[in-house]
Structure 1
Amino acid sequence: MEKIYVLDTNVLLQEPRALFQFEENEVVIPAVVLEEIDAKKRYMDELGRNAREVSRILDGLRNKGMLHEGIPLENGGKIRVELNHRSFHFLRETFAEMTNDNRILAVAMNLQAEQEKNETHRNVVIVSKDALVRVKADALDIKAEDFLNDRVTELDQIYKGKFYSKVAKDTLNQFYQTQNLPVSEIGVEQLYPHQFVILKDALGSSASAVAKADEHGRWLRPFFHESEQIWGIHPRNVEQKMAMELLLRDDIPLVTLTGKAGTGKTLISLAAGLFQTEDIGMYNKLLVARPVVPMGKDIGFLPGEKEEKLRPWMQPVFDNLEYLFNTKKPGEIDQILAGMGSIQVEALTYIRGRSIPEQFIIIDEAQNLTKHEVKTILTRVGERSKIIFMGDPGQIDHPYLDELNNGLSYVVEKFKDQAVGGHVKLEKGERSGLAQLAADIL
């Protein structure tokens, strides 16, 4: 049965082309949504960009007819800007205050009352990223849904870059002897490129092996490191060894690392970057960047030059560099970095328009990036550069992102079947026992 979908502002600000993703149904945009989008279009960030994109899309549709009367879409649906259903008659007894959210609810409620009088009754559904709007809609007996089309996968299907497989003892012996094993021997037809497999004896003995699929995902091979210790960092668990393998491979220009706080993502990435930049000269520069997204209330404008303004945001990176360089005195790391000149730490605010060749690029806290932002960053990568995206999708500070629609998860899923990319999820914390316990139970 055809439905009427009433869109909340946050849906369009998250995905401007959501207008075209409701198949053969009618999409209604309340007038208050246009007001909220208009208020955001001057922002010089992702919200402003999306607001302007929505404006352009609606302006293009306007050429096909009157938006308040409804315009047919190519997918068989219809889009309409709703101007008349602003009455609070049905809503006043429950939610008396005329907020923008309540005005959107009023549109849906009035449309629903109108549909109940029609012979061809259509269900009215509010689509909102705001959980409280959906809760209010339920209280008013209006169907409400989250917008899920922007999610790159389901929560239980997020690619981890590794899996466990139980095999016969003879298969393990064959792998050790030949250093090669077709993936058909572990019961699968094909793996993703560079996917890791932890092989264990099916009979329960302690025999095991760690293998990595080739770039075609058809053969398993062991992996080794020329040095067990890089810049004083020794991998403490098998997942960190997997991450180090990806970070040190020059034929894998894109690496994604996910994991809870304290799993060592930033530290081992910096160590691998310093080794390949300073020790063996594979790259000309080590570039470390992270998005400027505050946790909690923003502290406002900061005094000083650009470097001084960015220092609080970049401090986690400097903390890891101080550990790697074993500095003891205040300001010593700044003197070291100034003398080296090949390490650059900055915010992602300044990356648009750049071309970054022959550099080892680390993007920290990438879970706070949108799909558009990670696309912008990846298209900056030049020849002979390597880029690492890392973060914890479970700790997101961006108001419009969640574990499944953020830029980091998007890159992980879209590149999992590409030979240029490699991914691993780190699950064991190594920062401290307290940090691991907090990550697990809080």
Structure 2
Amino acid sequence: MNKIYVLDTNVLLQDPNAIFSFEDNEVVIPAVVLEEVDSKKRNMDEIGRNARQVSKLMDSFRQTGKLHEKIPLRNGGMLRIELNHRSFFQLQEIFVEKTNDNRILAVAKNLSIEENAKENGRAVILVSKDALVRVKADALGLQAEDFLNDRVVEADHIYTGLQEIFVDIDYLKSFYQKNELAIREFTTQTFYPNQFLIMKDALGSSSSAIGIVDQSGTVVKKLLYNQDAIWGIKPRNVQQTMALELLLREDIPLVSMIGKAGTGKTLLALAAGLMQTEDLQIFKKLLVARPIVPFGKDIGYLPGEKQEKLRPWMQPIYDNLEYLFNTKKSGEIDDILAGMSSIEVEALTYIRGRSIPEQFIIIDEAQNLSKHEVKTILTRVGENSKIVLMGDPDQIDHPYLDAYNNGLTYVLEKFKHEPIAGHIKLFKGERSRLAQIAADLL
């Protein structure tokens, strides 16, 4: 036990089991952290759920011993609730206000001073997901770290669902003749089920081929669906072609798509869903949902019935539906949807407890979901349903999520080995030239 970790409130609200992530070191939770957790426990969202879980966990520790003294953790470490060390003597000339953040900093600073006075004093490290708290800690001469244990990937290596590979021209010819090719014939690399391969001539000619790895991971096959228009929508680039392949395949019930704004994720998913629901009648209903997480300031409480309240949040979905149905007049899409009981636009708030069989389910803005929320959604999917999760991990409005620990990234990384799942990253914006330049530059 050679380190002391002081935890900020946001660490526990992000992961209630974070205290077990510090091996055999001592974990210190300032009393003000418990106060902040207590203030969140009545929230009816993910943060409130985590606050309640932290409360139950702390209550269970009382059976082990007194929390203001060191109690052992199952991972070999120790836990202590710090009741003292609230003196602002060390901070009063730098941070005057006695805010909760500054009280947590005071605990870490005073513990650090105590340990430095000892002959074999331990390092004191403040762990916070708040960047400014870490900056303040650095100004005070404290060690500070982000909490990274909840990240699915350590760096910018999020699975893209496709890979370029250079092969001999003879293999390309064989692929076009047989519409498939055994992977062991041209490479020793291993690939994930339903991963796309862009095979190029190793000698540098313009010859190339696009294939998808079969669900056994041993054969690359020609795409089943080509350039035919779906509800007036044709793929404009190779990644959109790959996306439609996944969206139209009946043997892939879980599809995830990531990409910047304007890459066509929502439009492609809606077109594929409408075709399979309305035209082919593979599914009984098309369900479109998105989390209610505002961009910028919240607009507050809205008047009216449920659908009226949801309309501002769901407007991006209605915009795409208006384009697909080629509506000309204001309100025309509402009349169309009212006459089509097979299309339902819903908020994720109302999905808990439901069972959703024989439906094509689209979850937009899935990057704003936590791991627990995305698990709740996927466990609602019934027999003969298909679910599409899509979003942009770089555009997250949730205060405790980032590109590496959100629910969308969690799903695509966990399911990339599974034959029932497919994933693709869309790179090129197709909304407009302006939208593409803005997505790249801003």
Amino acid at match of 2:259: G
Q: SS of the residue aligned with 1:166? A: strand
Deviation at residue 226 of structure 1 after TM alignment: 6.7
TM-score norm. by structure 1 comes to: 0.99
1:101-250, aligned counterparts within 5 Å? Answer: 101-225=101-225, 228-250=228-250
Question: Within 5 A, what are the aligned runs for 1:37-436?
Answer: 37-225=37-225, 228-436=228-436
AA at the equivalent of 2:26: E
Give the superposition deviation at 1:184: 2.7
For residues 316-355 of structure 1, the C-alpha deviation after alignment (integer angstroms, 9 at most, x for no partner) is: 0000000000010111111111111100001100000000
Q: Is the contact made by 2:183 and 2:219 (CA closer than 8 Å) also made in structure 1?
A: yes
Residue pair 2:227, 2:241 contacting (<8 A) in 1 also: no
1:170, CA displacement in angstroms? 1.4
Partners of 2:416 and 2:136 lie apart in 1 by 39
Q: List per-residue Cα deviations over 1:423-442 (Å, max 9, x = no partner).
A: 00000111000000001111
In the TM superposition, residue 178 of structure 1 has moved relative to its aligned partner by: 2.1
Q: Could you tell me whether the CA contact under 8 Å between 2:227 and 2:234 is conserved in 1?
A: no
Q: Structure 2: which amino acid aligns with 1:404?
A: Y
| Distance (Å, rounded) in 1 between the aligned partners of 2:189 and 2:268 | 33
Deviations along 1:90-149, one digit per CA (max 9) or x if unpaired, are 111111111111100000000001101222210000000000000011111110000001
List runs of 5+ in structure 2 lacking aligned partners. none
Q: 1:186 deviation in Å?
A: 4.2
Question: Residue 334 of structure 1 aligns to a residue in which SS?
Answer: helix
Instruction: Give distance in 2, aligned partners of 1:76 and 1:91.
Output: 33
Decide whether the 8 Å contact of 1:8 with 1:33 is kept in 2. Answer: yes
Distance, in Å, in 2 between the alignment partners of 1:6 and 1:98 is: 18
Amino acid paired to 2:411: V
Equivalent-residue separation in structure 2 for 1:284 and 1:346 (angstroms): 16
For 2:339 and 2:155, the matched residues in 1 are separated by 46
SS at match of 2:156: helix
Shift in CA distance, 105/269, structure 1 to aligned 2, threshold 3 Å:
same
CA distance in 2, matches of 1:155, 1:239: 23
CA distance in 2, matches of 1:226, 1:2: 60
Q: C-alpha displacement at 1:2, in angstroms?
A: 1.5
Letter in 2 for 1:296: G
- The separation in 1 between residues aligned to 2:337 and 2:217, in whole angstroms, is 40
Distance (Å, rounded) in 1 between the aligned partners of 2:356 and 2:241: 28
Contact 2:168 2:202 in 1 (8 A): yes
Amino acid at match of 2:135: V
User: 1:25-50: per-residue Cα shift (whole Å, max 9, x none)?
Assistant: 00000000000000000101111000
C-alpha distance in structure 1 between counterparts of 2:2 and 2:216, whole Å: 44
- Contact 1:165/1:186 (CA < 8 Å) preserved in 2? no
For residues 110 and 63 of structure 1, the distance between their equivalents in structure 2, rounded to whole angstroms, comes to 29
What RMSD, in angstroms, separates the aligned Cα atoms of the two structures? 1.0
Instruction: Specify the code of the residue in structure 1 equivalent to 2:151.
Output: R
Equivalences, count: 442
How far residue 189 of structure 1 moved from its aligned partner, in angstroms, is 3.5
TM-score of the pair, normalised by structure 2? 0.99
- Aligned with 2:48: secondary structure? helix
Post-superposition Cα deviations, 1:135-194, rounded to whole Å, max 9, x if no partner, equal 011111110000001100023211000011111111211211222222234434321010
| CA distance in structure 1 between the aligned counterparts of 2:334 and 2:391, rounded to whole angstroms | 25
Identity of aligned residues (%): 69
* Residues 261 and 188 (structure 1), Cα distance of their counterparts in 2 relative to 1, 3 Å cut: farther
- What are structure 1's unaligned runs of at least 5 residues? none
In 2, distance between residues paired with 1:226 and 1:212? 13
How far has the Cα of 1:78 moved from its partner? 0.4
Q: 1:124 & 1:404 partners in 2: Cα distance?
A: 26
1:258 CA displacement: 0.2
Amino acid at match of 2:328: K
Instruction: Tell me the distance in 2 between the aligned counterparts of 1:184 and 1:87.
Output: 67
Q: Distance in 1 between matches of 2:131 and 2:218?
A: 44
